[in-house]
Amino acid sequence: MTLLDVEDLVISSAGARLVDGIDLSVRAGERVGLIGESGSGKSLTALGVMQLLPRGISSTGSIRFEGRDLARISERARSSLRGRRVAMVFQEPMSALNPLMRVGKQIAESLTIHKTLSRAEAKEEAARLLARVEIHDPRAVLRAYPHELSGGQRQRVVLAMAIANHPVLLLADEPTTALDVTVQHRVLRLLDGLVRAEQMALLLISHDLAVVSGICDRVMVMYGGRVVERATVGQILAHPRHPYTAGLVATSASLGGAPSAASRRRQPLPTIPGTAPSAAAASRITGCPFRARCGWASPRCLEEPRLETIVDGHDVACWHPLPAPAAPRRAREASGLAGRADVALGPGLAQAAPPVTSDGEGAAPILECRKLVKVYRPELARQGGDPPAAHIRALDGVDLVVLEGDVLGIVGESGSGKSTLARILLALDRPTSGEVRFRAARIDGSPERALRAMRREVQVVFQDPLGSLDPRMRVRDIIAEPLHALGVEGDHRQRVAELREAVRLPRDTGRRYPHQLSGGQRQRVAIARALAPRPKVLVADEAVSALDVSVRAQILNLLGELIGRFALTVVFISHDMAVVQHLCNRVVVLYRGKVVEEGLVEEVLTRPKSSYTQGLLAAIPRLGKHVGDDRSATVGAAPSPD
Amino acid sequence: MAAASVIVFVVLAILPGKPAEVILGTQATPSAVRELTDKLGLDKPIWRQYVDWVGGIVSGHLGTSYISGQPIAGELGSALEVTGPLVGLGLLVGLVVAVPLGVFSAVKSRSASGVVASVLNQIGIAVPSFVLGILLIVVVGVELRLLPTGGFTGWSDPTEAMRSLLLPAVALGVVEGAIVGRYVRTAVLDVLSSDYLRTARAKGLTPGRALVRHGLRNVAVPVLTVLGLELAGLVVGAVIIENVFTLPGMGTLLLQSVENRDLIVVEDIVLLVAAVVLVVNFAVDIVYHSLDPRIARER
């Protein structure tokens, strides 16, 4: 039975068609994934179905849900369906909850909107729901405010509100994107279990193919506000037909795959050249929205391809669909991605991949720290009442040696202390105790004057490129700034041009401001700025975490290339084991301010010694691995608080 | 508070026009002036005057007026009986104007009626309260003869007292309300685009109920800050409005005292206003804590 049947959904804002006429159907009990990068229109599609579009954005088309067109019935009638028959879980659980209302009241409200319950009954039911989403102390959580809960707990609360009235359809928009890997794994498994137990249909929206493939039966791939491919998970993974899908599958497979041997490390990842257009830009493209990035594009692609069925249950919107029996590797070549590797990755990359000093013998330590402790002292409670809150030990005796030529990964989840460690290594923060040395000289607690030499040799790239670039400076001035600040001699203009080419930014970007660039381009600017004073050491703090999947691979390739070309020593901080595995030769695993494991990447990944690392590795979503398949993610692991 | 008292004292002390000269008028002989100056203690060094004044306040004596020779506490008290209710009523009128106006113009911000509300709001901000006061006197008082246009008969007849305060309170409150209304509008617009309001809608609340249940309390937090600040503006506005409506309140007392160089009265009034503002801001802080659990935690 078809539960939801969307036809020709168009979502537009100020004349731009952000979602351009898509069809979508979900049968009872079915689990459908909606895949796309930022700007693809996937979240808007879900909000369009709910008829909860932001102000100023409107939709046309029919949205038949249980036989009624949600777009045509009254707001009152829609309200009575929302939360009762169709429910939604949002991406950011902190902002999705009312900050001024106790959690218990917010859950109870989900119930009392739709049925008459006494306060005590509603509270009882809310506690039962919290237990249902595997919250350990439901009574305490009922009385808490959202800010008093962890990210995982908040998302469980949001989930509890959504399932309160046993809806037949659940829409989940990136429900785990804001969460740590191990927490993500547990929340996904919970979601999977709930959907199966309640026999709900699920529309799961995600940028992560691995997440979707772990839960869903069918997948729809969106690009530029259109659906470009629609098939079962098996079909998509084995035989992607659209070049874009093929690129996504290849990228996800190479990053999320089995631990790579040292020989494969830092080999270029398959990427999709270019970046996805913004929703507004995509609405101006006539013909196939992907053609500018496609190796197969032909004049015919100026005409818009329709979504057509190729084999049973497999639809694709492409004039040049990839041949059917193509193995994934073949598909990758056929998609033209490999053929365009020189465009995506630049020439001479193979030679550029550096000989990795895998054991580090003979190399000198360049950056090291001993018994590093950082204690954050929460303000003492005001007079009377509460005892002073416990001190937070962000770092608890960390020893670390970075050898010259090392590419050291520091892996940890939120609260592991990895960003605190980065700040201390950069001498942006002082340790409570312990010492930090750069080339054998103490840098902790040194006055800023004494650090000038070190500042020139140690540079940093942060996670959020937009936040870390001055919005009122032109790109060329941003790149040149460290040269002025550190008093580097020479022709700055020429140096900026060199750097711009090294990070492959188009010529005209020099004149532009950060907000005019795409996320990937901004991160290239941040990298160029860091490289400007010719540093020996590059500290990258979650440098690729904020980027879309296909762009992430490009930036990783770029980093890999630059490491070889400029003989950089790198401290690469990330929550993402897959990225670290690709780029680094050594890895340190941080957990609650302590090093729980360190060693060569291939050893740590294939034979993890600590139970925490084992849990972390098991939690990584991998293509085609069902979330319920592997129970080891929590067995024996010391899970981070969630 | 202490800083305010010092600033007031110093500024008034260096102001031209010696109190004794003003009190005795233009025909005063120099010896008479000197004698009075002596009597009032104005020949003492300024720090000594300050210590005497503060010492008096701490021990409960506000001093005596230079002019009337009466204890200031009494004069101030009867003035407060007018100004206190006036400001309170003004605040009430302000809220009655601000909340519906702000909410309406935010919710309807994309339709013609919302734009009209916004324009009206801007006009309300632009009109000075005394102009509105005069308008009200002409229309409601003189033409329609509904309410008294000025004067105050005292609280022995509460109905009559309220009637004489009504027009000035409206004149005062509408303007302050228009200003606060803009802040309400911004706060409501923020809330309308918030994720938690979307969640509330996804639960099945209608737009109106979602705003009332989840929005208003969130709106209250930023609006309260502005309200605390605007209260000071309300007191200043009262000074002007009392003169328009010839009310024997603190504003009238203040103006008279300034004209007569009755410095000690001026000083007491300014100190009182400073105290009120402080107390209000403290109260706002306390309400904050009960309104927003996140603030309590940061402390």
Phi, psi of A346 (to 5 degrees): 90, 155
Cβ B202 vs Cβ A87: under 8 Å? yes
Distance from CA of B151 to the nearest CA of A (A): 46
Q: A158 — contact with chain B (CB < 8 Å)?
A: yes
What are A366's two structure tokens? 């360049």
Nearest CB to A79 within list B205, B221, B292: B205
Burial class (CB in 10 A: 0-12, 13-18, 19+), A168: buried
Whether the CB-CB separation of A165 and A84 falls below 8 Å is answered with yes
A100: nearest CB among B198, B217, B297: B217
Are A161 and A176 in the same domain? no
Q: What is the pLDDT of residues B181-207, one digit of tens each?
A: 999 999 999 999 899 999 999 999 998
**Is A346 within a domain?**
no
8 Å CB contact between A221 and A550: no
Residues A319 and A459 in one domain: no
Q: Is residue A569 part of a domain?
A: yes
pLDDT in tens, A447-487: 888 888 888 899 999 887 778 888 899 999 999 999 988 88
| A306, two tokens | 């329709």
Q: Domain range spanning residue A289?
A: 1-85+167-257+265-338
Q: Are A383 and A610 in contact (CB under 8 A)?
A: no
Number of domain units in chain A: 3
Give domain status of residue A249, yes or no: yes
- Asked if A173 and A127 sit in the same domain, the reply is no
Residues A44, A114, single domain; the answer is: no
| Dist. CA A473–CA A510, nearest whole Å | 10
3-class DSSP assignment, residue A389: coil
Shared domain check, A581 and A524: yes
Residues A398-440 have pLDDT tens digits of: 999 999 989 999 998 887 888 889 989 998 888 889 999 998 8
A499 and A521, same domain (yes or no): yes
Q: What is the mean pLDDT of residues B214-220?
A: 90
Tokens of A111: 């119930």
Per-residue confidence band for A265, with pLDDT thresholds at 50, 70 and 90: low
A199: left (phi over 0), alpha (psi -120 to 50) or beta: left
- pLDDT tens sequence across A602-631: 889 888 999 999 988 888 888 877 887 654
Look up the CATH number of the domain holding residue A370: 3.40.50.300
In which band, very low, low, confident or very high, does the pLDDT at B246 lie, cut at 50, 70 and 90? confident
Residues in B closer than 8 angstroms to A111, CB to CB, are none
Answer yes or no: do B202 and A97 touch at CB < 8 A: no
Buried b (16+ CB within 10 A) or exposed e, A322-343: beeebeeeebbbbbbbbebbee
Give the DSSP H or E segment for A54.
Answer: none
Q: Are A552 and A270 in contact (CB under 8 A)?
A: no
Q: Tell me which long-range contacts A292-295 makes (C-beta under 8 A, separation of at least 24).
A: A293/A244, A294/A243, A294/A244, A294/A336, A295/A243, A295/A335, A295/A336, A295/A337, A295/A339, A295/A340
Q: How far apart are CA A319 and CA A114, in angstroms?
A: 48
Nearest to B244 by CA among B147, B78, B129, B161: B129
**In chain B, pLDDT over 90 holds for what percent of residues?**
11
**Chain centroid offset of residue A578 CA:** 12
Q: A202 and A238 share a domain?
A: yes
CB contact under 8 A, A90 and B199: yes
Residues A157 and A141: their CA atoms lie apart, in Å, by 9
Report the SS3 class of residue A24: strand
3-class SS of residue A141: helix
Tell me if A74 is assigned to some domain. yes
- Which of A500, A571, A584 has its CA nearest to residue A538? A571
Give the torsion sign (CA, A614, A620, A621, A622).
negative
Whether A586 and A459 share a structural domain: yes
Inside any domain, residue A409: yes
Q: Which residue in the set A52, A75, A100 is minimally distant from B198, CB to CB? A: A52
Does residue A345 form part of some domain?
A: no
Secondary structure tally for chain B: helices H, strands E: 14, 0
Instruction: Answer whether B218 sits within 8 Å of A148, measured CB to CB.
Output: no
Q: How far is A248 from chain B (nearest CA, A)?
A: 30
Q: What domains does chain B contain, in order, with CATH numbers?
A: 2-58 (no CATH), 72-298 (1.10.3720.10)
User: How many Å apart are CA A411 and CA A544, to the nearest integer?
Assistant: 14
Answer for the pair A126, A142: CB distance below 8 angstroms, yes or no. Answer: yes
DSSP characters for A59-127?
A: EEEEEEETTEETTTS-HHHHHHHBTTTEEEE-S-HHHHS-TTS-HHHHHHHHHHTTS---HHHHHHHHH
B206: nearest CA partner in chain A: A79
If asked whether residues A146 and A175 sit together in one domain, one would say no
> Which burial class, exposed, middle or buried, applies to A498 when counting CB atoms under 10 A from its CB (0-12, 13-18, 19+)?
middle
Q: Looking up tokens 């809806």, which residue turns up?
A: A167
Task: Determine the average pLDDT of the residues in B270-297.
Answer: 81
Burial degree of A313 (CB within 10 A; 0-12, 13-18, 19+): exposed
Question: Which region among A333-337, A393-397, A419-423, A496-500 has the lowest average model confidence (pLDDT)?
Answer: A333-337
Q: Do residue A504 and residue A600 come from a single domain? A: yes
pLDDT digits (tens, 9 = 90+) for B137-162: 888 777 777 777 777 777 777 888 88
Same domain, residue pair A455 and A602 = yes
Q: Is A16 exposed, middle or buried (0-12, 13-18, 19+ CB in 10 A)?
A: middle
pLDDT at A640 over 60: no
Spatial contact of B176 and B233, defined as CB atoms under 8 Å apart: yes
Residue A224 lies in a domain: yes
Same domain, A507 and A587: yes
Domain-embedded: residue A387: no
Percent helix, strand and coil across chain A, each rounded to 5?
40, 20, 40
Among A136, A165, A194, where does a domain finish?
Answer: A165
Non-local CB neighbours of A407 within 8 Å, separated by 6+ positions: A356, A563, A569, A570, A572, A583, A584, A585, A586
Q: What are the pLDDT digits (tens) for A58-88? A: 999 999 999 899 999 999 999 999 999 999 9
Q: Choose the mutation target among B203, B289, B291, B294 for the interface with A, i.e. most A CBs under 10 Å.
A: B203
Whole-complex ipTM: 0.77
- Render pLDDT for B224-233 as a digit per residue (tens, 0 to 9): 888 888 887 8
